[in-house]
Structure 1
Amino acid sequence: MLLRPRPLAVRLSFCLVMLLLAWLMLLLETDGSVYLLIYVVTVMSFALPPIWTLALGGTSLAAAVVLVLLQTGQHGSPGDLAAVIGVSSALFSIGRLITTVRSLRAANQEIATLAVTAERERLARDLHDILGHSLTTITVKAGLARRVLETGNDPERAVTEIGEVEGLARSALSDVRATVSDYREVSLSAELVGAKAALRAADIEAELPQAVDNVRPELQQTFGYVLREAVTNVLRHAQARQVKVRFGRTWLEIEDDGVGGVGAAPDASGNGLRGLAERLAAVGGTLHARQRADGGFLVRAEVKPALEVAS
């Protein structure tokens, strides 16, 4: 743990008092030696910023040169003066080195703190995206299976839905483990398939693209997260009957005809949209979410033109 340095005014006052005492001893004592200045320069080198050390120490050494030349032999010889200047310069360099090491240690502590914070934010964002979608889909499919079993009309479909619930639970567990290890990859095509299954289980008509080839490869993972979060919020909050998904080379739109959509989500200004905005910002993109004039909600993820030009 680094100790907090004293205020500059306190350190400067202390050094000025030492400097004054050294000069008083040098001038009042007939055999006062210029070597006294080494002690003062040592304290200044370790206690003051470089500009103050150079100003005070340099002025004192220049005055010592004049004093020695005017009173040769009384306060020291030119050789003594050269030794004082050499030792003072070395001490100044050592002081700067120690200050630099302290700064590096403080910077390393700050970097470590930022790294821990960034990792916590990554885990929170990824777990929100993974568990939010997976648990919502599991809930929808489990509810569908329950309704089918209650009616008794199609037990085979109920078994199929329960099997899919089991598969989703296993997949979610695998995703959580991969996220903790930072090895998880999101595929836009896989998210498209998952969105189709989840919307079908919720009896929501889905108009989805057949392929993702027209989306830039380096954007597909980010757009996969956007699609996952938007569909999750539609399932949770929209009460929609229809959802449309459209892709472009550098954009993605998810549109529903519900009464709430993403805008009605409790976390609309929290982990959900904020996490998506952070992911898009990392690739130079932006996220827009708004109510449609004729009802429903529209989410649009778009990469800034600068990325297109840079590529």
Structure 2
Amino acid sequence: MTPPAGPVRPANRHWRFTGWLLAAVWLFFLNIPFTTALHQPQMWRLLVGIGSLVAFAVAYVLIFQWARARRQRNLPVPPGRARLLIAVLLALGLAGIPGTGGDWLTTLVFVAAAAVFLLPSAEALVVVVLAAATPPVTARLVPGWEHESTLVFAVLLASFAMFGVSRLAQRNGELQAAQQEIRRLAVAEERVRAARDLHDILGHSLTVVAVKAELAGRLLPLDPARAATEIADIERLAREALADVRGTVGAYRGVDLASELAGARSALAAAGVVAELPESVPPLPVDRDELFGWAVREGVTNVVRHSGARRCVIRVEPSAVEVRDDGRGPADPRGTAGHGLAGLRERAGRLDATVTVARPDDGRGFLLRVTVPAADPDGGTHP
């Protein structure tokens, strides 16, 4: 799995404490060599034994925590450093022989467990086998070193338990990385949605404002009263756009077909485009009414902004809405360009609707059509 862009933090303090506990709980195996060191008649042997055991315990816990932290962040444990740390643990165990005698073999339990946690599976298996074989072999070769069968069992048990702990740490890291990726994608999706909505809202409103401002400028010396009316419309549209932006930010803004048709009539008139709009609309479900409203808004925005059309026709049916003009036609015949059409397609996709952008049958102008599958009598749908 690819590491995430940023570090993944442990879930909480409780889990961090659990990690220390998992590392320290096995230290009870050191009670045997520790007791042996305490009963050494010579002070230097006692100090060497106790010192080496304390250093070994601290090193083991720190190594375990370091490796666990890397696994939680989905970072690999460098093999070279892992081998060095295993060698350090083994060296500390061997250093205690003057004070612990044959009981130093207990440290092999920790060496095997650390190997399982740090090394690749094949190398870890070799270390575990050697650690389990060392006690009976050395008991035969070194006089005075008694072989305890429980030690071999402890090596195998600790290795098996550490295998489970290592997989748990790895899965925990992967889970946290997945959660972080989900949060990142959710933020990205919300940003796309906000950008799409703001484009759809302000693109239409500001286009109409620009057209009306241009018209008011031309009318001002000729018909001040009409110019004042257009300026009042500009103020109204600006306030509505501000309210729409606030509504979008507050996630409570809605669009309906009737309001968009009324706005389309005003925008087309200001642009000097002859409008042919339906006098009434059929009753529609709320989600379809909103989708058709967005389609009218996007289509009229394109007519006013890009088309150079003289006439615009809007048709509304129970399962479709159509915006048609006699202008220059779509710059992109497939209708793949533009944030507005992309946003409209996203909305249409939620209702399994299709968005068509093409030239009308007569070969002139622009056609935007949104079609929703009609309901079958049995509750299904068909195109």
Q: Which TM class, normalised by the smaller chain length?
A: 0.7 to 0.9
Tell me if the contact between 1:263 and 1:291 (Cα under 8 Å) persists in the aligned partners. no
Q: Which of residues 190, 193, 207 is equivalent to 2:262?
A: 193
Matched, 1:302 2:371: yes
* 1:276 aligned partner: 344
* 2:187 aligned partner: 116
Give the whole-Å Cα distance in 2 for the aligned partners of 1:222 and 1:147.
36
Matches within 5 A, 1:231-250: 231-250=300-319
* CA pair 103-250 structure 1, distance change in 2 beyond 3 A: farther
* CA pair 190-75 structure 1, distance change in 2 beyond 3 A: farther
Using the TM superposition, name which of 278-287 and 31-40 deviates more: 31-40
Give structure 2 stretches of 5+ with no counterpart.
1-5, 8-72
* 1:258 aligned partner: 327
Q: Which of residues 161, 166, 169 is equivalent to 1:90?
A: 161
Matched, 1:132 2:203: yes
Give the whole-Å Cα distance in 1 for the aligned partners of 2:307 and 2:167.
62
Give the whole-Å Cα distance in 2 for the aligned partners of 1:304 and 1:5.
49
Instruction: Name the TM-score, length of structure 2 as normaliser.
Output: 0.63
* CA pair 290-86 structure 1, distance change in 2 beyond 3 A: same
Matched, 1:42 2:100: no
Q: CA deviation at 1:35?
A: 5.6
Q: CA deviation at 1:12?
A: 9.2
Q: CA deviation at 1:105?
A: 2.4
Q: CA deviation at 1:107?
A: 1.8
Using the TM superposition, name which of 289-298 and 89-98 deviates more: 89-98
Using the TM superposition, name which of 39-48 and 273-282 deviates more: 39-48
* 1:79 aligned partner: 150
Q: Give percent identity, aligned residues only.
A: 38
Tell me if the contact between 2:359 and 2:367 (Cα under 8 Å) persists in the aligned partners. yes
Give the whole-Å Cα distance in 2 for the aligned partners of 1:134 and 1:74.
90
Give the whole-Å Cα distance in 1 for the aligned partners of 2:348 and 2:118.
47
Q: CA deviation at 1:268?
A: 6.4
Give the whole-Å Cα distance in 2 for the aligned partners of 1:80 and 1:97.
25
Give the whole-Å Cα distance in 2 for the aligned partners of 1:210 and 1:64.
90
Matches within 5 A, 1:168-187: 168-187=237-256
Q: CA deviation at 1:125?
A: 1.1
Matches within 5 A, 1:288-299: 288-292=356-360, 293-299=362-368
* 2:75 aligned partner: 5
* CA pair 58-187 structure 1, distance change in 2 beyond 3 A: farther
Tell me if the contact between 2:109 and 2:131 (Cα under 8 Å) persists in the aligned partners. no
Q: CA deviation at 1:39?
A: 2.1
Tell me if the contact between 1:254 and 1:298 (Cα under 8 Å) persists in the aligned partners. yes
* CA pair 205-4 structure 1, distance change in 2 beyond 3 A: same
Q: Over alpha carbons, which structure has the higher Rg?
A: 2
Alignment root-mean-square deviation, CA: 4.0
Tell me if the contact between 1:141 and 1:162 (Cα under 8 Å) persists in the aligned partners. yes
Q: CA deviation at 1:136?
A: 1.0
* CA pair 158-107 structure 1, distance change in 2 beyond 3 A: same
Q: Which of residues 176, 188, 213 is equivalent to 1:105?
A: 176
Find the residue that maps to 2:202 and give its secondary structure.
helix
Give the whole-Å Cα distance in 2 for the aligned partners of 1:160 and 1:17.
82
Give the whole-Å Cα distance in 2 for the aligned partners of 1:306 and 1:63.
72
Give structure 1 stretches of 5+ with no counterpart.
none
* CA pair 43-140 structure 1, distance change in 2 beyond 3 A: same
Using the TM superposition, name which of 107-116 and 72-81 deviates more: 72-81
Using the TM superposition, name which of 224-233 and 213-222 deviates more: 213-222
